[in-house]
Structure 1
Amino acid sequence: MGDPTSTSWQALVADKRRRQAQTIPKEWLISTPSDTELTVTDVPATCGLLTEKELLITSSDVDHLLKKLASAEWSSVEVTTAFYKRAIVAHQLVNCLTEIFVDRALARAKELDEHLQSTGKVIGPLHGLPISCKDQLRIKGLETTMGYVSWIGKYADKNSALVDILYECGANPFVQTNIPQTLMWPETFNNVFGRTLNPHNRTLTSGGSSGGEGTLVALRGSPLGIGSDVGGSVRIPSVFCGVYGLRPSYGRVPYAGALNSMEGQDSVPSVFGPICNSIAGVKIFMKAVIDSKPWLKDPLAVRKKWDAEAYGLEEHGHGEKLVFGIVWNNGQTVPHPPVIRALEMTKAALLAAGHQVVDWVPHRHAEISKVVNDIWSAGCVEDYHSVTNLTGEPLIDTMLAEGEVLPTTFRPESDASSSTFQLWQLQKAKLKIRQECLEMWEETAKTTGTGRPVDAIISPAAPYAAPPHGKNTDASYTTVFNGLDYPSCVFPVTRVDPVKDAKKPPHQFLSSMDETNYNLYDPNTFFNAPVGLQLSGRTLEEEAVIAMTEIVDAALRAQK
């Protein structure tokens, strides 16, 4: 592309969008529904583009797909083609893709098929599985803009460590997905690719920053996606789009070689995690990556093998008569009626399955969220401008739809930077709260009746279902677990029901945020929005968190 400063940022965007459109096979274009059609989840199956077999393939979960691929009953070429077609349909409906490289992915699929045919063996545990990647993961030879105009034309000269691992495991990365400019938004919009919509109701946000992944997986345009999470960016789009998503602890999944914002900020590191339509797929991804010994590719990756004993819940009564702490509110914002109903449904399901549920009183959650936000603010504005100034693109200060005005912004103010000493005090405060939370959790062993502490915490992932564009201004329910470094897994529970979830009379507001949140709610505004929760465990306890999420998921299914 040459020197970006010699061309207007608008011209760079126009050229990038033109080049992106050229990567879409014309025969995969469909007649898209009008903007007044809010729910588009059925369109991939009814648009006529996919064959019956392709619909069967794309409706299959990861564990089933891998069995079919390993047995050669389904070829990698036909599985990749099916998901590629569905991904392109999804993109036309909700604008979720950034990089599209059909020929390259199909060539890889062909190589995988030939290897299986000639050797009778799969390449690895993810053999033939198409995987979508958030537009941070570098794939050699492809552009990675991360939503910045200034990074148009930034081609990767090598893969990120995680992409190398995917290839070694036999997977087939096939698309990259949309994100917000800077990543530091719980919604998805940027100057390069525009806004990603929620397929369940296109007037609602997809969440962010992994919004492209959340929507693509929800539309089954990908069997498994990789998002990143520094304050909720895997969990928020997962819960808003009605899918599963895991935020692992720091360093459990390799980050080396990926693009990021606020590089050098290592007190609350961003982490990569899977987004999937099944909890089984979450486990399969994590085990495959960890078994590949990522610490040999990333110096910050934790040297910790997949722990089968932890997955078997040996420290948690082998999964029998678990004790779950339930967070009804974080002391700052009372969740909307559908979220409260999801908590009640989950509690009832767990009790019916023979487990125990106790109320969990959050410890200094508001302070943890503020400390994390202040750590981000220490240098983030300078970081953003160091990139946007290269082309003069505007720094986005709102996610609102055009024409709407909201007096608040999610971003820190431009004078929010801290001195080095002030930053050290924030990091010190975060560590102090982590120590207090550890001691508090250990203390619960005296009251559970099992002889062990509470096994996991179940809480909202947001105080609402997916809100309208620009209205997702509270990420405190997820950010707290980034600060504490607790692995957390989102699971779907229900949908907004205008009858069951009628607006309640005003309560004694906990804060001005709580009052704003109360006034936001109207069940009709949140029409058809998925509602989910998150399950959190102790630091580096990913295996147990996955296993306990499986138990919760099974208990909820048993009640349906």
Structure 2
Amino acid sequence: MATDWKIIAAGKKAQQQASIPKEWLLSNLPPQSVLDISGFPETCGLLSDEELQITRSDTDTLLAKLASGEWSSVKVTTAFYKRAIVAQQITNCLTEIFVERALARAAELDEHLKKTGKVVGPLHGLPISLKDQINVKGIDSCMGYVSWIDKPAESNAVLTDILESAGAVPFVKTNIPQTLMWPETYNHVFGRTNNPYNRSLTSGGSSGGEGALVSLRGSPVGVGSDIGGSVRIPSAFCGTYGLRPCYGRVPYAGCVNSMEGQDSVPSVLGPISNDIAGIKHFMKAVIDAKPWLQDPLAVRKRWSEEEYNLVDHGNGKNLCFGILWDDGLETVKKALLDAGHKVIDWKPLKHPEIYETLRGVWGAGAEEDYRTVTALSGEPIISTMVPEDAIVKDSGEWFVVDTGVSAFQLWQTQKHKRDLRQEYLRHWEDTVSVTGTGRPVDAIISPVAPYAAPPHGLNKNANYTLIWNGLDYAALVIPVSKVDQALDVQRPRNQFYNDTDKALYESYNPETFKNAPISVQVVGRTLEEEAVIAMSEIVDNALKTSKAKS
């Protein structure tokens, strides 16, 4: 008789718990009634003063001190490992934990630096966390499926090899939802990941483990994936920076995934960090490794300092941003105007058509894909992310899949997506007539979601993110503030765009969203990662300058 799937899942969870050094398990964890646990790693008592200093440091500082030998990789990796384990105990953000292996790798890097006086690469000694689907040889990538437990990867993903060759230390893998196709994070194997700023709220998904971990400074740089917002939603909900690169800019070969073979709207890998420098260091190191020589789908495009210096965008002077409204972006607009840039309203073009086209592409074979994998273990396909004991019940399906369409029907959907991209290109180019700079709009600033992180199970809207997946535009999330009980009150409205808009408005209560991060995304065009990073730095600096003055 086949082993019950619940027993297999429980065994995997027990194995995970056993992989944590006992001296790192805490007895002073905050009770569940304490919702904001973002400051707990600082006060828990597990980390020394030096380890706290290390984990508070920005990426530039970490890399400089690692390269000089002032901080050893063993010391830095240990500090972040301890903080990651604290994060795990309060948010449930990790899947695979491999302490001895990571510290052995760190020790090798320290020995190399000591003997040669040179770093192994641009990320020398830096711990990097990986979303569960990114393969590390000899370690599971079960991706929240009971069926894939105890199937260790036979080789590294291409990205894992590149990061190690650049001197990085992969040290943990992070939690995801079953199937990956959820904007929240829960599965039958590892359970639910909570938001560090309010544990009654979702951390987002599908890279929710990365979002929570990086937010708690349990990792200086993490890697997530994004097919409809899965890097950006957790980054926004957890108050971190996160980049959705374009198709093929970061190598995907060697990762496990759902819906493999669906190449019309592919998932992409992207970095999450507490500073934009971490995003830039990651992207430059990966691209400089020429990933197209290891992954045939990687784009052959070198890192461009010219593009980073915004040669196509007035060298970064007198930029014009288009703002996609309806989510309180006045703070960003004022900061940019004060910094000497222009801001105009962005008029969305056929966004509902783009949403539905993407859902048509994914839905064509998703149900069969999920059913095929879960049938191997007998585990049920998760149909709701709402906890069983939640007061608010599910408000309907998040992602209704088709039972299958013909190849010809799918081709028509993909053709329509291509045509919509063509229309949007012209729409963007036509803004040259209204910017006053002699150029089209340099970038769009948009909400990441129509709300801050909602209660578990209620993140039903990814339209602000998946639009850019359909168009294949690079987008970087910037944290702005947190929900303020006094400022962020419900403003009177008499008119609504549709029933969804009205329902979102009526569901808002400042108390529910207490302390939730508020973020925006800076959107550039296809393969404009360098420019998007640079323009995001400009937006971020403008916001920080504006806050300092106020």
> What's 1:488 paired with?
475
CA drift of 1:352 comes to: 0.2
CA drift of 1:439 comes to: 0.4
> What's 2:106 paired with?
109
Q: How does 1:436-451 map to 2 (within 5 A)?
A: 436-451=423-438
- 1:320 equivalent among 314, 317, 333: 317
CA drift of 1:416 comes to: 4.2
> What's 1:230 paired with?
227
Q: 1:179 corresponds to which letter in structure 2?
A: I
C-alpha distance after superposition, 1:231-282 (max 9, x if no partner): 0000000000000000000000000000000000000000000000001110
| Identity among equivalent pairs (%) | 63
> How far apart in 1 are the matches of 2:91 and 2:389?
20
Which SS does the other structure have where 2:454 is aligned? Answer: coil
Which SS does the other structure have where 1:144 is aligned? Answer: coil
C-alpha distance after superposition, 1:443-479 (max 9, x if no partner): 1112211111100000001000000000000000000
Q: 2:12 corresponds to which letter in structure 1?
A: K
> How far apart in 2 are the matches of 1:151 and 1:465?
33
Q: 2:71 corresponds to which letter in structure 1?
A: W
> What's 2:383 paired with?
397
Q: How does 1:244-393 map to 2 (within 5 A)?
A: 244-329=241-326, 335=327, 340=328, 343-393=329-379
> How far apart in 1 are the matches of 2:521 and 2:349?
17
Q: 2:7 corresponds to which letter in structure 1?
A: A
> How far apart in 1 are the matches of 2:404 and 2:507?
31
> What's 2:196 paired with?
199
- 1:155 equivalent among 129, 152, 167: 152
- Asked whether the 8 Å contact 2:29–2:90 carries over to 1, the reply is yes
C-alpha distance after superposition, 1:352-379 (max 9, x if no partner): 0000000001001111011101110000
> How far apart in 2 are the matches of 1:50 and 1:490?
29
- Asked whether the 8 Å contact 2:368–2:403 carries over to 1, the reply is no
- 2:410 equivalent among 399, 423, 429: 423
> How far apart in 1 are the matches of 2:15 and 2:168?
26
Which SS does the other structure have where 2:370 is aligned? Answer: helix
> How far apart in 1 are the matches of 2:461 and 2:409?
25
> What's 1:332 paired with?
none
Establish whether residue 412 from structure 1 lines up as the match of residue 400 from structure 2: yes
> What's 1:171 paired with?
168
> What's 1:119 paired with?
116
> How far apart in 2 are the matches of 1:402 and 1:110?
45
> What's 2:23 paired with?
27
> How far apart in 2 are the matches of 1:100 and 1:225?
14
CA drift of 1:412 comes to: 1.3
> What's 1:51 paired with?
48
CA drift of 1:515 comes to: 1.4
> How far apart in 2 are the matches of 1:536 and 1:134?
23
> How far apart in 1 are the matches of 2:294 and 2:60?
27
Q: 2:521 corresponds to which letter in structure 1?
A: Q
Q: 2:357 corresponds to which letter in structure 1?
A: V
C-alpha distance after superposition, 1:463-506 (max 9, x if no partner): 00000000000000000000000000000001101111111123
Which SS does the other structure have where 1:559 is aligned? Answer: helix
- 1:497 equivalent among 458, 464, 484: 484
> How far apart in 2 are the matches of 1:7 and 1:391?
8
Q: How does 1:70-149 map to 2 (within 5 A)?
A: 70-149=67-146
Establish whether residue 535 from structure 1 lines up as the match of residue 522 from structure 2: yes
> What's 2:455 paired with?
468
> How far apart in 1 are the matches of 2:11 and 2:2?
14
> How far apart in 2 are the matches of 1:220 and 1:158?
29
Which SS does the other structure have where 1:397 is aligned? Answer: coil
> How far apart in 1 are the matches of 2:50 and 2:540?
28
> How far apart in 2 are the matches of 1:407 and 1:556?
36
> How far apart in 1 are the matches of 2:479 and 2:359?
27
> How far apart in 1 are the matches of 2:407 and 2:532?
36
Using the size of structure 1 for normalisation, the TM-score is 0.96
> How far apart in 1 are the matches of 2:542 and 2:403?
45
C-alpha distance after superposition, 1:213-241 (max 9, x if no partner): 00000000000000000000000000000
CA drift of 1:417 comes to: 2.3
- Asked whether the 8 Å contact 2:144–2:177 carries over to 1, the reply is yes
> What's 2:57 paired with?
60
> How far apart in 1 are the matches of 2:65 and 2:340?
35
Which SS does the other structure have where 2:312 is aligned? Answer: helix
Residues 505/416 of structure 1: CA separation in 2 closer, same or farther (3 Å cut): farther
C-alpha distance after superposition, 1:32-63 (max 9, x if no partner): 11000000011101010000000000001111
- In the comparison of the two structures, how many residue pairs are matched? 544
CA drift of 1:507 comes to: 3.2
> How far apart in 1 are the matches of 2:79 and 2:118?
23
> What's 2:236 paired with?
239
CA drift of 1:292 comes to: 0.2
C-alpha distance after superposition, 1:102-128 (max 9, x if no partner): 000000000000000000000000000
Q: 1:234 corresponds to which letter in structure 2?
A: V
Gaps of 5+ in 2: none
> How far apart in 1 are the matches of 2:515 and 2:525?
33
Q: 2:48 corresponds to which letter in structure 1?
A: T
Establish whether residue 14 from structure 1 lines up as the match of residue 16 from structure 2: no
> How far apart in 1 are the matches of 2:59 and 2:138?
27
Establish whether residue 36 from structure 1 lines up as the match of residue 33 from structure 2: yes
Q: 1:158 corresponds to which letter in structure 2?
A: S
Establish whether residue 547 from structure 1 lines up as the match of residue 543 from structure 2: no
> How far apart in 2 are the matches of 1:550 and 1:460?
17
Q: How does 1:452-463 map to 2 (within 5 A)?
A: 452-463=439-450
Q: 1:188 corresponds to which letter in structure 2?
A: T
Gaps of 5+ in 1: 330-334
Q: 1:254 corresponds to which letter in structure 2?
A: P
Which SS does the other structure have where 1:204 is aligned? Answer: strand
CA drift of 1:407 comes to: 3.5
Where does structure 1 differ by over 4 angstroms across 4 or more consecutive aligned residues?
none
> How far apart in 1 are the matches of 2:185 and 2:507?
20
Q: 2:187 corresponds to which letter in structure 1?
A: N
Q: 1:64 corresponds to which letter in structure 2?
A: T
- Alpha-carbon RMSD across the aligned residues, in angstroms, is 0.8
- 1:477 equivalent among 457, 464, 488: 464
Q: 2:408 corresponds to which letter in structure 1?
A: F
> How far apart in 2 are the matches of 1:417 and 1:451?
47
Which SS does the other structure have where 1:458 is aligned? Answer: strand
